[in-house]
Structures are given as C-alpha cells and as structure tokens.
Structure 1
Amino acid sequence: MSEDLPPTETAAKAEVRAAEAAAIRRRWITLGEVLAVIAVLISGLTLWNSWSERSDSAAVKTADAQRATTRAATLVLVAADAGERKLALKPVSAEQSVQSQKIAFPTSLGAPPAETTGEPRIEAEWFERGLKKARERADLPDNSRGDERLPVVITTRFLVDGEPHEDVALYDIGYTISGRLIAGHSVTLRGLSLVSHVKSGDAQATLDARWARLLPGK
C-alpha cells in the first residue's frame, strides 16, 4: 500500500518534474537551432566555394584570352625564302595576315621608303646603291667577312580574326657583298632578324642610331 504524501509535497515534486521536462525540451530546441545554423553555414560555404571556383575559372579564361590576344597582336617576321636578291617575308603566326608594309632605310643611304601590298618582301635593288656608297665612304673591304647587317624599320599592317593591327619594328637584314670597286659589287641577301619593336615617332631616329653603330666612320 503506497504511502500517501501531503498535498504540498506532491505539488513540489510535480513542479520539479515539470521543470526537468521543460529543461530537456529547451536543450533539444537549442540543439536543433545549433544544427540548423550549422546547416545554413555549410550551405553558405558550399555556395561560396562554388561561386569562387566559377569566378576563378572565369578569371583564368579571361587572362588566357588576353594573353592569346596579345600574342596574336605581336608580329614577328621571318624570311620565308632567302633568295640572292629578294627576301619573301611572312609572319611567324599563321593567324596573322599581312596586308601592307613600309620599309624604311637609314637616312644616310638616301633610299626612299619602299611600300608593298599583298606580297611582303625586301628587294636588294631598293637600297643597294646607297649601301655601296656608304661602305665606300666608311672604307670597308670590298668583300664581306661573314654576314653583314643593314638595319631597317618595317611598318606592317595586318589582320587577326578580321581585326586590323599595326606593328612597327626594327630589323636587321643579313647580307653579303663581294666584288671590286671597278668591276662593281654584288649584294646578296641572307635573311632577316628582329631587333626590337619601336614607337612610330622614334623609329627613324632609332634606325639611324643603330646604323651609326653598325657602320662607324661613314
């Protein structure tokens, strides 16, 4: 037979049990809230990571495209066919299509600039007479001792994917000369090498300065 408790004691125990139950519910609610916050944070981090990866990928693609555009717009010419009297020129990059060129020579040669359209080239007859006179004034040997160098400035207008570009650069023409003063000299073209890209406004001065170094005492 159970012992009967006084009403006040029974009420106190009921309040204790009710308080314990409420505390348990609060703990579960708090834990649920924490888990919900963690879930939100995880979701946010996942979205941020996904966005960051897309952003990085887009940045890489943009940088690659910019580098590709810069490479495409940077022209380097080579001699495709080194004949004795004419050099046929072509761009290193197959993406570039030369439309026209202007070849400028050192001022002291007295040779006017030569212009080409549709057939990039350099011909010995454009500058040969002035070159021979310059070598004579400089008291240089009748015959070359290896390949000689004549600097020129080549202004090239070209297309890349239909977009027009212009390049101004200093090149050295490789040549040899042989013969005698009385019998006449013969100039043979050997090739072309890039020296540097230059600004249009400084091109002639840069060209003349290089020629002064290559042919001292002219």
Structure 2
Amino acid sequence: MTDETPAEKAESRAIRRRWISIGEAVAVAGVVIAGLTFWSDYQDRQDAAADKAATRAEQSAQRHRVPLTTASVDKRGIELRSAADCPLSSTEIRFPTALGVDQQTTVASHRIEADWLARPMLKLTDGGADRREGRVPILITATCTADDGDRSETAIYDLFWKTEPGGLLGGRSFGLRGLVRRRSGGDQRLLDATWTAAALEAAS
C-alpha cells in the first residue's frame, strides 16, 4: 500500500466532502420534490372536492327554485303559475316603497291585480300622454308544495303596464301587459334601489 502524501490526503478529503455535499443536495431535492408532489395532489383533491360541492349546491338551488310564468294576461290582471315541477301554493308580492302599495298575499287565486297599482301609477304618470307604457319592479316570494316538501324562492320581476284613454269620467285607465323575471333573490332595499334606477333612467 502506497502511503499518501499530505497533498493527496487533502485531495481525498476534499473529494469525499464533495460527494457528501452532492448526496445531501440530492436528498434535499428528493424531499422537496416529494413535498411538491404531495402538495399538488392535495390541491387537486381539494379543487375536485370544491367543484363537487359547488355542483351539488347548484343542483340543490335548481331543485328549490320556484320560477313563475303567466297562465293568462289581460289588462285587469295577470294569473301566475309555477314553472317548477310543483303546484304554486302561495305568493307574497311586494312593491316599491315609493308607490305606497301594501304587500299582497295570494293563496287560492294567484293573480296580480291591476287595481293594486292603478291609483299610484295613474297619479305618477298624470300630466303626460294618455297612452303610456312602462314597467315597475316587484318582489315575489313564491312557494310551491313538492313531494319532498315546500319550496320557496324570492325573486325580482318586471311588471309591464300601460295607460290609455277611457278611464272613469273620460280619464285614463291603467292595465297590465306581462311579467318578466329580472333576477333571483333580493329584498325590499334592493327592490327600492331597482325602482329608483329605473325611474332615473326613464327621466334621462
């Protein structure tokens, strides 16, 4: 066995240290890669679970919606019916606060009557042309009874109206023209804000 010189021993030690450093770096890299892989898998599982939860929530919301449609329309009123797979059992109908119209509830006959709005709307449009058309937002909470129990949904609808000559003592008459869903959800505050925005738009 050949004795190593001090220089050769130092070189050998340096080589061993380099190999140890390389081995440590490889080990650390392996730990980092494993950690990143675990985190990526975990994040994928979390994203998949969130997507499934969102899908279930949307399906549940769809099942519990009670969209309304019109069964019949004439100037004296609009008959409502449920577009869901359950018969309509009641409605609560609210109007913009500025009109001063009381909340109305229907149980047996689900109709929006023109008479509810005739006085304030004729007063509001007084001084203009006899023939006018427009819309007023209303808030409807509709309830229907299904096999799995009652379903209820609140939504804002646009109620379309018109005025024309031929009212009492030769004045004007007020009638309804139709109903269109504006958005799901809402409350009295949002209804009033929607009415204010519509009034400002009509005045501009």
Q: TM-score, normalised by structure 2?
A: 0.64
One-letter code of the match for 1:204?
Q
Q: Report Cα offsets for 1:12-68 as digits up to 9, x if no partner.
A: xxxxxxxxxxxxxxxxxxxxxxxxxxxxxxxxxxxxxxxxxxxxxxxx9x9998765
Aligned to 1:124: 114
Aligned to 2:27: none
Aligned to 1:192: 179
Aligned to 1:212: 196
Whether the 8 Å contact between 2:66 and 2:151 is mirrored in structure 1 is no
75-84 or 65-74: bigger deviation: 65-74
Match of 2:162 among 176, 194, 203: 176
- Measure how far apart 1:123 and its partner are: 0.4
Q: Report Cα offsets for 1:84-142 as digits up to 9, x if no partner.
A: 2110011122x122111111111111110111103221000111111111223xx5433
Q: Identity over the aligned pairs, expressed in percent?
A: 27
- Write the mapping of 1:64-213 to structure 2, written as runs, cut at 5 A: 69-93=60-84, 95-136=85-126, 140-144=128-132, 147-179=133-165, 183-199=170-186, 203-213=187-197
One-letter code of the match for 1:112?
D
- Measure how far apart 1:72 and its partner are: 2.4
Whether the 8 Å contact between 1:104 and 1:154 is mirrored in structure 2 is yes
Return 5+ residue gaps in structure 2 as ranges. 1-51
Whether the 8 Å contact between 1:73 and 1:160 is mirrored in structure 2 is no
Return 5+ residue gaps in structure 1 as ranges. 1-59
Whether the 8 Å contact between 1:172 and 1:193 is mirrored in structure 2 is yes
Whether the 8 Å contact between 1:98 and 1:118 is mirrored in structure 2 is no
Larger Rg: 1
- Pair 1:129–1:68, CA change in 2 (3 A): same
One-letter code of the match for 2:134?
E
67-76 or 95-104: bigger deviation: 67-76
- Write the mapping of 1:46-57 to structure 2, written as runs, cut at 5 A: none
One-letter code of the match for 1:149?
R
What is the CA–CA distance in structure 2 between the aligned matches of 1:109 and 1:66, rounded to whole Å? 37
- Measure how far apart 1:83 and its partner are: 1.4
Whether the 8 Å contact between 1:153 and 1:170 is mirrored in structure 2 is yes
Cα RMSD after superposing both structures: 2.5
* SS across alignment from 1:128: helix
One-letter code of the match for 1:115?
T
Whether the 8 Å contact between 2:82 and 2:144 is mirrored in structure 1 is no
Q: TM-score, normalised by structure 1?
A: 0.60
